[in-house]
Structure 1
């Protein structure tokens, strides 16, 4: 078997009998850590709702990962997976196999699809599509689209925390009059840049969009995704590597702020995020499990709750800073 015809998979399953409410969350985290490696071609998440064609697809009863790599890198990937799983206290069972045939190189792509978001059932509803580059457009697809492939940073639209934000975004866009289009948008913990870039697709009138993340790989990925959508040279688009502890408020204020980050960051960073929000501005907080929602709300008590939406155990909070709230000077 020549090298160009060979491909390997490493299946990562939760250990049988493991009962940990946060195991699935850590499995998602493991997928994100692995996707950053240069010796991995893709990380596929399978769950009981996964639908795919082909005789090699196996339905699963619990979520698991399938890692795609090469035979020469398989050993290193197995060791790295074991070490990362142990570091986040995740009990897993690994099963590695080599395969022949070039079709395996793109096998993971079939589990991705175009995603559609719309503000309502009417024909003139605000519509947005997130499309992987290898899936061609259909005749009736929305003209407002963002091309985004899975890569080194979190954010393809498939995870509930991201899809909740995208749905809220199209609803905000449909509700706000033209005079209320945000001039400045800030995406904190931008990951792939999906939320900020989607807002730019919806509102080309945005004057400044800042995509910020503490991870330089995420910032680089966001820049690549901007280039893939012919947005990288757009005036007013900037990429920043920063930590929320380094006063993200310094790059505000913004009329629209995204923060799709876990509560362990959202809660202590609440003063900074609120300070980055312009008076009358809207913030979308996500990355929150349903049972964590009240605690996050309490940390942002000075903001007005506009909506609390849930999907598959995750929730997002849409909140507004009052016009006459504290520190309203811009």
Structure 2
């Protein structure tokens, strides 16, 4: 049966985009668009720096649409006033036929280079590899990221610096990926020489997508699961955690315990305003660097040998 989709369009200040996008992803379980570009696209830098942006969520155009519309209106009315420049505008609902959505959203996904060596390539795009490239093939679907979001991008860049600038071109064998999402960081770890990778996420759908992308990239050294952090045995030469700042701090003792002596800890998913909160939440580790991209921070630390 042909399914139609409803596109819910909200006009909000640029400062509210990330908050609204997170709300829509959690509410709908589907992709989010900004100004006709997918939120987590390969052309993220092409989003214009305009004060008001159109944020779009997608849900089936069925009996549940009205409830979703009401919840979006409620969110805008209650959360919007805390953002400078917010003026309430009623969300606009458009119906988009399924085949249009299924094909059109892919137009904005192009291969993107991250750091010096990594390239993330959607499966439907051609790319001519250059010498030394580490290519990650990805098919994110509607609900999961491509790896080009600033939080993931900075993790990848930090992993690359650790691998090539500090360790001579090969990561330690054991890597832990907390909040794996679509598995991009685990795949990158395997391409950089890690041979025993554990990837965990609280969302079973994220684990499923990770496993699909591992197969797509013919990576067999990653074990993906929903195993809680406190039940993961051993320690790891690199631990990367791309989750919310508050969760990083809550899990700090467990994350520190999982870092092997002399090992590295990469923390992302941190709004810059919460950067110091996270730094203070990880005592006893040496602060190596803090990088920034838009309103996001990525913190790299190291445990004494």
Give the TM-score, by structure 2 length: 0.81
Q: Does 1:239 align with 2:224?
A: yes
Give the direction of change, closer, same or farther, for the CA distance of 1:62–1:242 in structure 2 (3 Å limit). farther
How far 1:253 sits from its partner (Å)? 0.3
1:207 equivalent in structure 2: 195
2:187 equivalent in structure 1: 197
Please say if residues 35 and 43 of structure 1, whose CA atoms lie closer than 8 Å, have aligned partners that are also in contact.
no
How far 1:98 sits from its partner (Å)? 2.9
Please say if residues 31 and 65 of structure 1, whose CA atoms lie closer than 8 Å, have aligned partners that are also in contact.
no
> Which structure is larger by alpha-carbon Rg, 1 or 2?
1
1:9 equivalent in structure 2: 7
Q: Does 1:110 align with 2:107?
A: yes
Please say if residues 305 and 320 of structure 1, whose CA atoms lie closer than 8 Å, have aligned partners that are also in contact.
yes
Give the direction of change, closer, same or farther, for the CA distance of 1:214–1:69 in structure 2 (3 Å limit). closer
Structure 1 unaligned blocks of 5 or more: 120-126, 324-330
Q: Does 1:188 align with 2:178?
A: yes
CA distance in 2, matches of 1:297, 1:59: 30
Q: Within 5 Å, which residues of 2 pair with 1:92-241?
A: 93-99=90-96, 102-119=99-116, 127-138=117-128, 140=130, 143-151=133-141, 154-178=144-168, 181-203=171-193, 206-231=194-219, 234=220, 236-241=221-226
Give the direction of change, closer, same or farther, for the CA distance of 1:270–1:104 in structure 2 (3 Å limit). closer
Give the TM-score, by structure 1 length: 0.76
Which stretch of structure 1 is more off in the superposition, 257-266 or 193-202?
193-202
Structure 2 unaligned blocks of 5 or more: 81-88
CA distance in 2, matches of 1:62, 1:47: 13
Please say if residues 185 and 209 of structure 1, whose CA atoms lie closer than 8 Å, have aligned partners that are also in contact.
yes
How far 1:118 sits from its partner (Å)? 2.8
CA distance in 2, matches of 1:24, 1:175: 35
The alignment covers a number of residue pairs equal to: 292
CA distance in 2, matches of 1:189, 1:48: 25
SS in structure 2 of the partner of residue 63 of structure 1:
strand
Q: Does 1:303 align with 2:285?
A: yes
How far 1:265 sits from its partner (Å)? 0.5
How far 1:156 sits from its partner (Å)? 1.9
Give the direction of change, closer, same or farther, for the CA distance of 1:167–1:304 in structure 2 (3 Å limit). same
